[in-house]
Amino acid sequence: MRKTVRHLADDREIVYFDEDPHAPPRDAADTRDLPAVAAASEIRRDPLTGEWVAMAAHRQTRTYKPPADLCPLCPSRPGKPSEVPEADYDVVVFENRFPSFAQAVTGAQCSVDGAGLVPVAPGQGRSEVVCFTSDHGRSFAELTPERVRTVMEVWGDRTAELAALPGVEQVFPFENRGEEIGVTLHHPHGQIYAYPFVTPKTERMLETARAYRAEHGRHVLGDVLAAEHAAGTRVVARGEHWTAFVPPAARWPVHVQVVPHRQVGDLAELGPAERADFAEVYLRVLRRCDALYDRPLPYVAAWHQAPVRRDRDLAWLHLELFSVLRAKDKLKYLAGSESGMAVWVNDVTPEQIAQRLRSAV
C-alpha cells in the first residue's frame, strides 16, 4: 500500500492510501478558495458525573444533506471541486472541515464562571474523515475483502499517527450509516476522533476488567468469548481469528460485537492474517444485517481501543455494531429509562437477535 500526504486549500492534511504502489501520483491541487478552519471547541467536566462534554458550536453550520452531484466526499470533477482534489481514489483520509476536536484549538485551563466547580479545557485533539471508496453508491457491505483489508490498514495507520499527537488520550474510529442514525452525508465513509480524555464508556469497561482480573486472574472479554464459543446460541459468524456474536446483555434490537481471539489493545497491533480474517467475518455480518429487514440497515460501528497512555493491559480491542431499527419500518427510541437513567429495556432477547441474523441471507 502506498501512502501520500498532501494538503488542502485551507492547509488541512489529506492522506491518500493506494492499493497499487504504482498508481498515478496524487498531486492534484485543491483549487477552492477556502477560509482557514475556525475550530473553537472546548471541553467541560460535568461536576455530577465527572464526565467530559465537548462544546463545538462552530459545527452548527456544517454541510447538511447535499445533493449527490455536490457530495463533498466524491472525487473532484471539472467545475465541481470537492474535499478530495483527485479524480479518483482508493481510500482517503482528511481532517474534518468542521472538527469536534483539533490540534489548532488553544487556550488555558480554567473553570465555568471562575468558580472552580466545572473545569474547562481546550478541545484539543483531531477529527478525521475516512472515505472507504470513491464510489458514492456503494456501502461498506459491498466492499471487496481486499478493500476491507486496506481500510483495516488505514485504521491502524491513523490510530498510531493520532496517538502520537500532543494531548491525545484515546483514538476512536467509527462509522455512522443511515439517516435514522443521523447521517447527513451518504457517501460511504467513517470518522476518527482523537480525544483529549479517555471516554466514559472506556473508563467503565476498564474498571470492570480490572475488578474481574483481580478476582479471577483473567480478562473478562476473554472469558465472555470462550463462553460464547461454548454456547454457540449467540454467535453470528466465526473465522480463524475473529468471532461475531450478539452480546448476552444486548441493549439494541440489532447488536453485534466482533472480537479478535487474542487480546490486543488497538488496530495498529493486528497482523496481516487477523486483518484478512476480519474482512471475511465482518462482511458476512454486514450482509446479514442488510438482509434482516430486506433493506440497508442503519447502524453505528464503533471500535473500542485501549487508551493511549494507560491501562493498555486491561483493554481488549473489539468492534461494536448496533442499530436503532427494531422492525423494517420501526425505530427504537431512547425513552425515559434509557435516556434518563441509562437503564436499557430491549424488546427482543439476544438469542432471538442472533437467530434472526443467522437466518438472514
Q: Are 103 and 124 in contact (CB under 8 A)?
A: yes
Q: Are 359 and 351 in contact (CB under 8 A)?
A: no
Can you list the positions of beta strands (E) in the chain?
A: 2-7, 13-18, 42-45, 52-55, 91-95, 110-111, 119-122, 126-131, 170-177, 189-195, 235-238, 242-245, 254-260, 299-304, 318-323, 325-327, 330-331
Q: Kindly report the three-state secondary structure assignment for every residue of 39-67.
A: CCCEEEECCCCCCEEEECHHHHHCCCCCC
Cα torsion 107, 113, 119, 125 to 10°: value is: -30
- Residue identified by cell 480463524 is 240
Q: How far apart are CA 101 and CA 28, in angstroms?
A: 27
Residue 361, burial from CB neighbour count under 10 angstroms (0-12, 13-18, 19+): exposed
C-alpha cell at 250: 444486548
Q: Is residue 71 classed as helix, strand or coil in its secondary structure?
A: coil
Q: How far apart are CA 198 and CA 312, in angstroms?
A: 12
Instruction: Catalogue the active-site residues.
Output: 189
Can you list the positions of beta strands (E) in 261-334?
A: 299-304, 318-323, 325-327, 330-331
What is the edge-to-edge ordering of all strands in the sheet holding 110-111? Answer: 52-55, 42-45, 119-122, 110-111
Running DSSP on this structure, what letter comes out for residue 102? -
Residue partners of 204: CB distance under 8 A and separation at least 6: none
One-letter identity of residue 161: E
